[in-house]
Amino acid sequence: MVPDIIDPIPLAKCRKEASVVPTVDLSAPGAAAAVADACRGVGFFRATNHGVPAALADALEALAAAFFALPHDEKMEHASARPFGYGSKSIGSNGDVGWLEYLLLSVATGSGSSTLPPPLRAALEEYTCAVRDVGGRVLELMAEGLGLDRGALRRMVAGKDGEESGAGEMVRVNHYPACPLASGVTGFGEHTDPQIVSVLRSNRTGGLQIMLRDGRWVPVAPDPDSLFVNVGDSLQVLTNGRFHSVKHRVAAPEAGKLARLSVIYFGGPAASQRIAPLPELLKEGEESLYKDFTWGEYMKAAYKTRLGDNRLSPFELH
């Protein structure tokens, strides 16, 4: 029996069309155009030749798996820095639940990681450093693909220091154990990411699904050698809707399957950063589709929403 609070994902409605996920070789000459195409289309792509050594991700994965194997009470000792730190089954604070446990960390302040076992903390720091660099390079390719100055998007991500970078950049480690209850149980419910860009890596267990522009859900074939990049709400606004913030969700593994482990880097702005379409991108006479807001205002509103809500709609004009 599936508890009422966990809605099963209707997997029957999810067709096997893994090939619709664009792949971009980040080291290829046409990468900027390919990245921009993918972001204008589905808002999501698989990045190969990203340069993050497999050893970094493997080491982190092994240490994270060992952490999640600890007794529940021991893990709960790391759950006091809400929204950061350890969490189990509940996402945010407005009643969203999923078949997962996780670690959520702030890159700038270290909140959520200070009490973790030092080897896990070190592996997280090393991996984060490498993956945030990929996020930065991807933002440069996106800017180039849009015909902008190279740094136009990368500079919108909060720096590591600065009193205000706050929760701009985050890292999340999600652990989805096999679910004995039923198949297709929601691991992480459908949502868009509020930030500019998210970069995900997972082990060999699938479960991630993305929503295409026509509303169809498709599975993303797992590939531990690649990184998966998704456009967040802020990037949709910065590009005045040219890039599409992709809805995604995760189905928990079925009984008997290997647990899914994913690590996601979220590149978000500093709290005072104004989020509005980049003026250099707008064509003559083109108006902003959104009201002006700061990242701080957006996140304040976001924390009052349910996971599946459209967080941009209150900021849309017309």
Q: Rule CB under 6 A: which residues touch ligand GA4? A: 83, 91-92, 94, 96, 104, 170, 172, 191, 193-194, 266, 302-303, 305, 307
Could you tell me if 253 and 259 are in contact, meaning their C-beta atoms sit under 8 angstroms apart?
Answer: yes
Pairing of strands 44-48, 23-25: parallel
Nearest approach in angstroms of CB 193 to ligand GA4 is 5
- In terms of residues, how long is the chain? 318
Nearest approach in angstroms of CB 287 to ligand GA4 is 28
CB-hemisphere CA count at 13 Å for 248? 26
For ligand GA4, the closer CB: 104 or 123: 104
For ligand GA4, the closer CB: 187 or 194: 194
Phi (first) and psi of residue 256, to 5 degrees:
90, -15
Nearest approach in angstroms of CB 83 to ligand GA4 is 4
Nearest approach in angstroms of CB 102 to ligand GA4 is 8
Whole-number Cα distances in Å, 139 to 49, 142, 213, 284, 300: 16, 5, 22, 24, 25
Nearest approach in angstroms of CB 96 to ligand GA4 is 5
* Short-list 117, 5, 25, 101, CA closest to 63: 117
- The rounded distance, in Å, linking the Cα atoms of 77 and 99 is 20
**What SS3 string covers 11-60?**
HHHECCCHHHCCEEECCCCCHHHHHHHHHHCCCEEEEECCCCCHHHHHHH
For ligand GA4, the closer CB: 45 or 266: 266
Nearest approach in angstroms of CB 150 to ligand GA4 is 26
- The rounded distance, in Å, linking the Cα atoms of 52 and 63 is 18
For ligand GA4, the closer CB: 139 or 196: 196
For ligand GA4, the closer CB: 96 or 140: 96
For ligand GA4, the closer CB: 290 or 295: 295
Position closest to ligand GA4 via CB: 92
For ligand GA4, the closer CB: 146 or 210: 210
- The rounded distance, in Å, linking the Cα atoms of 49 and 54 is 11
Could you tell me if 201 and 263 are in contact, meaning their C-beta atoms sit under 8 angstroms apart?
Answer: yes
Nearest approach in angstroms of CB 252 to ligand GA4 is 16
For ligand GA4, the closer CB: 145 or 293: 293
Nearest approach in angstroms of CB 93 to ligand GA4 is 7
- The rounded distance, in Å, linking the Cα atoms of 193 and 205 is 22
Could you tell me if 139 and 149 are in contact, meaning their C-beta atoms sit under 8 angstroms apart?
Answer: no
